[in-house]
């Protein structure tokens, strides 16, 4: 890191934090209910104990404090978490297309959630999603072992087959059991949606992102070593197999939590690290935190669009992230093509 780069990175970091906080503050002022931004902020200040009175009615207070605030926080947590998962997966597999989808974790989590939903245990859906992500992870590992041990290519091939299997099982279940209009619920859930997010979801998502994210952030240097290949990483003193599976396990856990609350939201984990790499390069001690910040900001505004653009209608946020993410991803692909 040269001296001239330091202030740039510092500015970038501070700038993104300011942007994130500004996004949270501004996004809560958007929504189908017509509430003046000043009333929104005063209500939040009231709940934070900063002012004595709330200027709005009981229900509007609930709209602001029980619907909008937790939802914006969930969006920030999901965005940061997905970006983290994507960055780690891309480093570990040395594959720019890697993210939780590629290794089958999202598909597994979706399957687990749908099984619980159809079994009538909607409340246990998060447990189902986590079990599904873990099972898909274990299955991917098993297939990788059967193929002859962990290499990036084998892990990805195993992930693709597990993903296909889980997706087929999910489709089969939906096809088999959709009665009347219940399929709508499952489909909007599979497309990814943050509607219905409550405080407990916000706590879960933020806690998972922070507690799983922190140790991962600290392994930035080891992730850099992976970029030079397993042998090079080992020669740099990295316990390659142990760290690889530890990080993959952490990613599985985080993916399970995120999918259980937001559904299978695509493209965030895939594109955010690429966009960040354009600005910061690929050193993970910078790439990881910056990706998390950008992921959070991106998700907050995508979800704000999903819940307010067509009010009073609600759009699954996965549609928005795909609409924005897919063109960006194509640009990323074109850029990589020129570089290679």
Partner 1 sequence: MRTLPQLAGLTLAVLASNCAYAQTAYPLRIENCGFPLEIAAPPERVVTIKSTATEMLLALGLGDRIVGVGFQDGPVPPQWAVDDLPVLSEKLPSQEVVLEAEPDLIYGGWESNFAADGAGERATLQAFGVGSYVSPAACRSVKPAKLTFDGLFEEVDEIGKIFDAETAAQALIEQQKAELASVAADSRGLTAVWYSSGTKTPYVGAGNNSPAMIMEALGLENIMADQDEGWISASWEAVVDADPDVIILVDAAWNSAEQKKRLLAENPITSQLDAVMNQRYLVLPFPASEAGVRNVGAVVDMAAQLAALDFTR
Please answer whether residues 279 and 12 qualify as being in contact, where contact means their C-beta atoms are separated by less than 8 angstroms: yes
Nearest by Cα to 42 from 34, 33, 53, 32:
53
Please answer whether residues 192 and 315 qualify as being in contact, where contact means their C-beta atoms are separated by less than 8 angstroms: no
Our CB check for partner 1 shows the closer of 198 and 236 to be 198
Does 26 engage in binding with partner 1 (CB under 8 A)? Answer: no
Does 31 engage in binding with partner 1 (CB under 8 A)? Answer: yes
Does 55 engage in binding with partner 1 (CB under 8 A)? Answer: no
Among 4-12, 54-62, 104-112, 244-252, which window interacts with partner 1 (CB under 8 A)?
54-62
Shortest distance (Å) from residue 267 CB to partner 1:
21
Using CB under 8 A, which of 60, 94, 154, 283 touches partner 1?
60
Using CB under 8 A, which of 5, 119, 121, 185 touches partner 1?
185
Our CB check for partner 1 shows the closer of 4 and 176 to be 176
- Host H or E run for residue 81: helix 69-93
What is the Cα–Cα distance from 225 to 274, expressed in whole angstroms?
18
State the Rg of the chain over Cα.
20
Using CB under 8 A, which of 43, 140, 170, 193 touches partner 1?
193
Our CB check for partner 1 shows the closer of 199 and 245 to be 199
Nearest by Cα to 314 from 322, 304, 323, 324:
304
* φ, ψ at 227 (rounded to 5°): -60, -25
Does 33 engage in binding with partner 1 (CB under 8 A)? Answer: yes
Our CB check for partner 1 shows the closer of 30 and 298 to be 30
Shortest distance (Å) from residue 214 CB to partner 1:
29
Does 68 engage in binding with partner 1 (CB under 8 A)? Answer: yes
Our CB check for partner 1 shows the closer of 116 and 139 to be 116
Does 239 engage in binding with partner 1 (CB under 8 A)? Answer: no
Question: Is the backbone of residue 309 left (phi > 0), alpha (psi -120 to 50) or beta?
Answer: alpha
Nearest by Cα to 263 from 149, 128, 162, 160:
128
Using CB under 8 A, which of 51, 66, 220, 246 touches partner 1?
66
Please answer whether residues 286 and 9 qualify as being in contact, where contact means their C-beta atoms are separated by less than 8 angstroms: yes
Using CB under 8 A, which of 122, 207, 326, 331 touches partner 1?
122
What is the 3-state secondary structure of 24-68?
HHHHCCCCCCCCCHHHHHHHHHHHCCCCCCCCCCHHHHHHHHHHH
Judged by the rule CB under 8 A, the positions of this chain that interact with partner 1 are 31-34, 58-60, 62-63, 66-68, 122, 178-182, 184-185, 188-189, 193, 195-196, 198-199, 307, 311-316
């Amino acid at each position: 890191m040269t001296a001239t780069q330091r202030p740039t990175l510092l500015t970038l970091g501070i700038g993104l934090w300011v942007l994130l906080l500004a996004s949270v503050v501004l996004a809560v002022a958007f929504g189908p209910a017509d509430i003046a931004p000043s009333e929104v902020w005063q209500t939040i200040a009231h709940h934070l104990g900063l002012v004595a009175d709330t200027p709005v009615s009981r229900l509007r207070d609930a709209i602001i404090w029980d619907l909008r605030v937790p939802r914006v926080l969930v969006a920030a947590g999901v965005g940061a978490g997905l970006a983290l998962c994507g960055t780690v997966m891309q480093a570990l597999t040395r594959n720019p297309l890697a993210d939780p989808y590629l290794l089958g974790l999202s598909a597994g989590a979706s399957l687990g959630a749908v099984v619980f939903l159809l079994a009538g245990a909607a409340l246990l859906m998060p447990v189902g999603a986590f079990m599904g992500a873990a099972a898909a992870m274990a299955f991917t590992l098993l297939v990788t072992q059967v193929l002859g041990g962990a290499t990036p290519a084998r892990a990805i091939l195993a992930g693709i087959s597990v993903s296909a299997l889980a997706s087929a099982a999910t489709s089969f279940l939906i096809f088999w059991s959709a009665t009347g209009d219940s399929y709508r619920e499952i489909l909007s859930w599979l497309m990814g949606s943050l509607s219905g997010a409550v405080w407990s979801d916000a706590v879960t998502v933020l806690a998972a992102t922070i507690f799983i994210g922190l140790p991962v952030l600290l392994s930035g240097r080891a992730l850099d070593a992976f970029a030079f290949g397993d042998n090079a990483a080992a020669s740099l003193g990295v316990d390659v197999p142990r760290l690889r599976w530890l990080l993959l396990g952490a990613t599985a856990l985080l993916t399970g939590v995120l999918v259980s609350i937001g559904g299978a939201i695509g493209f965030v984990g895939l594109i955010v690290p690429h966009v960040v790499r354009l600005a910061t390069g690929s050193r993970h001690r910078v790439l990881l935190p910056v990706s998390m910040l950008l992921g959070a900001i991106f998700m907050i505004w995508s979800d704000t669009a999903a819940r307010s653009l067509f009010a009073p209608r609600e759009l699954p946020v996965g549609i928005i992230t795909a609409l924005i993410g897919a063109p960006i991803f194509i640009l990323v692909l074109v850029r990589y093509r020129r570089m290679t």
